[in-house]
């Protein structure tokens, strides 16, 4: 990484370019991330793990899915350091170029039948690379948007990176849906699933082009000009901003847990225990993503109008209640109720996810903002998402679907406590 130097004059970023660069990057990153999540349920148990025990192969596949969440804090620390030291722009480009090649490599990886135990090992390595890249991507994209935002519109600008999540999911799920409809099962398992992974390389080039055309954010330029750069941002976050990193992490846990319950777990449970076809369930999930996308701008507008903390507190209270509905509306042979269940869950996800990036950026000062926001977000991913598909599947198999809902309600209660404790910290000016 090069040492950032200010140059006069510094051109401001046009609004459209800012928002496009923050949106396109996260769309690509989440597309890459979600095609793995989908394949981890539909393909990888059959291809990269021993076929002697299908149930165990599914759990092992979900374990590799979890691996990326443990890589993300490392990515947050690494890219956060350079983002706070050397600038947001260069770091965002580096994060994009870390995740992209890892995704393409997964698409080219031979299966267990060809290379044996090396297949799941290499899969885990490339999955780690995905997590490392995404760990540095998200925080930088949020700062690119919020640090260029005018007063009282920070949540609105900050929602654009968040929109990359539903768009990326729609693209990934849509890809698998089209492939499943145009190929037989054998061709899909043999080579069809690889197409989205390899094709992601084209999206990376688009994202790279857009990000190379943006200028550095005004907040970072001020840090450099005032000689305020932190020597060790990671150390400063944990030593000087302990309360912020702790509460910020806990305040984000439910956002992750709800999303991966509504995507990875429901896809697995719906196509096995509830006997929905793969294509039918993917359609229901894609419909639910529209409600996810609707919830994000709505929550951003409400956050700028009434306050980020109030918005997040309200969303989490409703999520606690939603957890109690699991066994009543997520049922077999009723596509309407299952679709309603998924859509409601993803709408609530949008209400929680929309302002969380701006809220996390707001509780850290500019010299450690990239590192702090990224670490809080990724640590929450470990707590709220890494093991969620595995734990939810275990709870459902052993105790029933109601206990998956109780799991969500309990997590939302923990997040609610953290949000109430961080009211003063979540200032309206990042």
Q: Give 280-333 as a DSSP string.
A: HHHHHHHHHHHHHHHHHHHHHHHHHHH-HHHHHHHHHHHHHHHGGGHHHHS-TT
For residue 345, the model assigns a pLDDT of: 96
For residue 318, the model assigns a pLDDT of: 97
pLDDT by 10s per residue, the chain, length 430: 445 544 444 556 677 888 888 888 788 777 877 787 778 777 788 788 766 667 777 777 777 777 777 888 899 999 999 999 988 888 988 988 888 888 889 889 888 778 888 888 888 888 888 888 888 888 888 998 898 888 889 999 999 999 988 898 888 878 888 887 888 878 888 888 888 889 888 888 888 888 888 888 888 889 988 888 999 999 999 999 999 999 999 999 999 999 989 988 998 899 888 988 888 888 898 899 999 999 999 999 999 999 999 999 999 999 999 999 998 999 988 999 999 999 999 999 999 999 999 999 989 998 999 999 999 998 998 898 878 888 999 999 999 999 999 999 999 999 999 999 998 888 644 4
What would be the CATH architecture of the domain defined by 15-421? Up-down Bundle (1.20)
| CA separation for the pair 430, 428 (Å, rounded) | 6
pTM over 0.75: yes
For residue 11, the model assigns a pLDDT of: 54
Q: Please report, for residues 6, 93, 224, 244, the alpha-carbon distance to residue 229 in angstroms, rounded to integers and kept in the order given.
A: 13, 20, 6, 19
Q: Which of 210, 57, 78, 84 is nearest to 147 (CA)?
A: 84
For residue 51, the model assigns a pLDDT of: 63
Write down the residue that tokens 């200028």 correspond to: 215
| CA separation for the pair 142, 160 (Å, rounded) | 8
User: In this structure, are residues 81 and 234 in contact, taking their beta carbons and an 8 Å threshold?
Assistant: yes
| CA separation for the pair 255, 259 (Å, rounded) | 6
User: In this structure, are residues 85 and 366 in contact, taking their beta carbons and an 8 Å threshold?
Assistant: no
For residue 215, the model assigns a pLDDT of: 83
| CA separation for the pair 78, 133 (Å, rounded) | 10
Count how many Cα atoms sit within 13 Å of the Cα of residue 370 in the half-sphere of its side chain. Answer: 34
For residue 121, the model assigns a pLDDT of: 85
For residue 52, the model assigns a pLDDT of: 63
């Amino acid at each position: 990484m090069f040492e950032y130097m200010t140059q006069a004059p510094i051109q401001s970023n046009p609004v459209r370019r800012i928002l496009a660069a923050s949106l396109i990057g996260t769309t690509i990153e989440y597309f890459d991330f979600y095609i793995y999540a989908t394949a981890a349920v539909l393909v990888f148990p059959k291809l990269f793990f021993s076929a002697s025990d299908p149930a165990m192969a599914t759990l092992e596949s979900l374990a590799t899915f979890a691996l990326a969440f443990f890589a993300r804090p490392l990515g947050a620390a690494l890219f956060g350091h350079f983002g706070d030291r050397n600038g947001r722009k260069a770091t965002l480009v580096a994060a994009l170029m870390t995740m992209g090649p890892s995704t393409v490599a997964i698409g080219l990886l031979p299966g267990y039948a060809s290379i044996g135990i090396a297949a799941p090992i290499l899969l885990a390595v490339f999955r780690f690379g995905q997590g490392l890249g995404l760990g540095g991507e998200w925080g930088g994209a949020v700062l690119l948007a919020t640090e260029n935002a005018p007063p009282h519109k920070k949540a609105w600008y900050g929602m654009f990176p968040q929109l990359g999540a539903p768009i990326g999911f729609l693209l990934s799920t849509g890809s698998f849906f089209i492939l499943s409809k145009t190929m037989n099962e054998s061709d899909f398992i043999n080579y069809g699933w690889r197409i989205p992974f390899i094709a992601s390389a084209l999206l990376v080039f688009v994202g790279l082009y857009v990000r190379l055309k943006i200028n550095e954010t005004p907040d970072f330029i001020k840090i450099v000009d005032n000689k305020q750069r932190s020597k060790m941002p990671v150390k400063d976050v944990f030593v000087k901003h302990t309360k912020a990193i702790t509460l910020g992490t806990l305040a984000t846990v439910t956002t992750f847990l709800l999303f991966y319950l509504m995507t990875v777990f429901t896809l697995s449970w719906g196509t096995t225990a509830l006997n929905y076809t793969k294509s039918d369930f993917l359609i229901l999930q894609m419909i639910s993503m529209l409600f996810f996308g609707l919830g994000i701008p709505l929550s951003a507008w409400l956050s700028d109008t009434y306050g980020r903390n109030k918005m997040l507190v309200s969303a989490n209270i409703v999520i606690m209640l939603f957890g109690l509905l699991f066994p009543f509306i997520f049922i077999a042979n009723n596509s309407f109720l299952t679709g309603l269940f998924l859509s409601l869950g993803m709408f609530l996800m949008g209400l929680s996810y929309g302002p969380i990036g701006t809220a996390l950026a707001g509780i850290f000062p500019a010299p450690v903002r990239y590192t702090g926001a990224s670490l809080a977000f990724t640590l929450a991913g470990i707590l709220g998402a890494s093991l969620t598909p595995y734990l939810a599947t275990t709870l459902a198999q052993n105790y029933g679907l109601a206990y998956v809902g109780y799991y969500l309600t309990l997590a939302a209660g923990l997040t609610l406590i953290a949000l109430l404790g961080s009211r003063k910290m979540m200032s309206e000016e990042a």
